[in-house]
Homo-oligomer: A and B are copies of this chain.
Amino acid sequence: MAVTVAELAAQLGARVEGDAESLLQGVATLSQAGPGQLSFLANKKYQHQLATTTATAVLVSESEAADCPVTAMVVDDPYLSYAKAVAYLYPEQREPGGIHPRAFVDESASVDPSAWIAANVVVEAGAQIGCGVQIAAGCVVGRNVTIAADSRLHANVTLYADVQLGQRCLVHSGTVIGSDGFGFANEKGKWIKIQQLGRVIVGDDVEIGANCAIDSGAIDDTVIEEGVKMDNLIQIAHNVRVGAHTIMAGHSGIAGSSVVGKYCAIAGAAGIGGHLEICDNVTITAMSMVIKSISKPGVYSSGIPAEENREWNKRVARISRLDKLNDRVRQLEKKL
């Protein structure tokens, strides 16, 4: 697909400085881009690459426009415009509607004719698959699952019974939604399973990465609100609620019954304990452990940056001797 700079600029609301008639066929980084390619400058770190780029056009902000050696497409937010440009230049390839002969769809399930069900998919009884839904090979869609319009499951996704998925969701391979919440009562040392009765409700425009696990609620539902974006290998326990437009990075997790607000950002491998409330607009930095509710927007941390092992071992030893150091200071205070 080739478009003129002018056509793309119209889509993006960009001002063009240079040749509006040149053709764009794809995108590349500033350092790699050649003729016919669009690039963008969104990170100051790469500013030095602008002078020598051989891209046909570059998405830049107003302040960089003068320094652009090729056609500049001036926008407010080059990164956002890049996202939209890519969506325009690389329209998603959707399969035509239909059920692959190697798929198995229970006769009581309802599949919109415009939905696509790939080979080796299993759709169980009572499931409802909306228009434009795309279900790739090897997925298992449990009983009475609902998948709303234009959502897409990549290969080998598992949805347990009763999961509800909103519109335009994207779920990556290996992810499991609706597995039993982790609930047991103890009887003389043995663990007695507590049947998990709730569902998982996923809002519109949610993206869930690969190999995540989202448990069903114990009694009420686990809820992922609209616009949430999750990276890979994320754990969501039973009865968690993740607020709209919150973003979670890889290996992060939320323990049971915690409620995370809207517009939060949970960085990689951060963990949020159970039965907590995290208000809107909270950022948790990488590998932090949250064990108290947070009622004030802001940035919270407990991750420790690595340093040379020899130095680090000294620090750990010092920390373990803090009691003694404190005692020594107290002794000094007494003497004075």
Instruction: Provide the A133-170 mask, 1 if CB < 8 A to any CB of B, else 0.
Output: 00011101010000000000011101010000000001
- Interface size grouping (class) on chain A: 35 or more
CB neighbours of A155 from chain B (8 A): 122, 140, 142, 158, 160
Among residues 97 to 150 in chain A, which have CB atoms less than 8 Å away from a CB atom of chain B? Answer: 100, 102, 104, 118-120, 122, 124, 136-138, 140, 142
CB pair A174–B172 under 8 Å, yes or no, is no
Chain B residue at minimum C-beta to C-beta distance from A212? B211
CB distance from A321 to the nearest CB of B (A): 8
Q: How far is the CA of A138 from the CA of B50 in the complex (A)?
A: 47
CB neighbours of A271 from chain B (8 A): 251, 268-269, 286-287
Segment at the interface with B among A8-16, A63-71, A230-238: A230-238
Among residues 175 to 195 in chain A, which have CB atoms less than 8 Å away from a CB atom of chain B? Answer: 175-176, 179-180, 182-187, 189-195
CB neighbours of A48 from chain B (8 A): none
Q: How far is the CA of A250 from the CA of B122 in the complex (A)?
A: 28
Identify which of B32, B251, B299, B325 contacts A220 (C-beta below 8 A): B32
Q: How far is the CA of A232 from the CA of B200 in the complex (A)?
A: 16
A1 at the interface (CB under 8 A from B): no
CB distance from A120 to the nearest CB of B (A): 5
CB pair A184–B219 under 8 Å, yes or no, is no
CB pair A194–B319 under 8 Å, yes or no, is no
Identify which of B172, B210, B245, B292 contacts A305 (C-beta below 8 A): B292
CB pair A219–B182 under 8 Å, yes or no, is no
Known contacts A29-B220, A184-B229, A299 near B309 by CB under 8 Å: yes
Instruction: Provide the A245-288 mask, 1 if CB < 8 A to any CB of B, else 0.
Output: 10101110101000000010000110101010000000111111
A77 at the interface (CB under 8 A from B): yes
Known contacts A227-B190, A268-B271, A289-B304, A179 near B232 by CB under 8 Å: yes
CB pair A336–B335 under 8 Å, yes or no, is yes
Which 7 residue pairs of A and B lie closest in terms of their CB atoms, listed nearest first?
Answer: A213-B232, A299-B309, A140-B155, A210-B213, A158-B173, A179-B210, A122-B137
A-B contact pairs, 21 of them (CB 8 A): A29-B220, A82-B185, A83-B192, A92-B195, A122-B137, A138-B158, A156-B176, A176-B211, A189-B245, A189-B263, A231-B235, A235-B250, A286-B291, A292-B305, A299-B308, A299-B310, A301-B308, A302-B306, A318-B319, A318-B323, A325-B329
What is A's interface to B at a CB cutoff of 8 Å? 27-29, 32, 45, 77, 79-80, 82-84, 86-87, 90, 92, 100, 102, 104, 118-120, 122, 124, 136-138, 140, 142, 154-156, 158, 160, 170, 172-176, 179-180, 182-187, 189-195, 197, 205, 207, 209-213, 215, 219-220, 227, 229, 231-233, 235, 237, 245, 247, 249-251, 253, 255, 263, 268-269, 271, 273, 275, 283-292, 298-310, 312-316, 318-320, 322-323, 325-326, 328-329, 332-333, 335-336
Extra 6 A-B pairs, beta carbons < 8 Å, given A104-B120, A170-B193: A104-B119, A271-B286, A283-B309, A299-B308, A304-B319, A328-B333
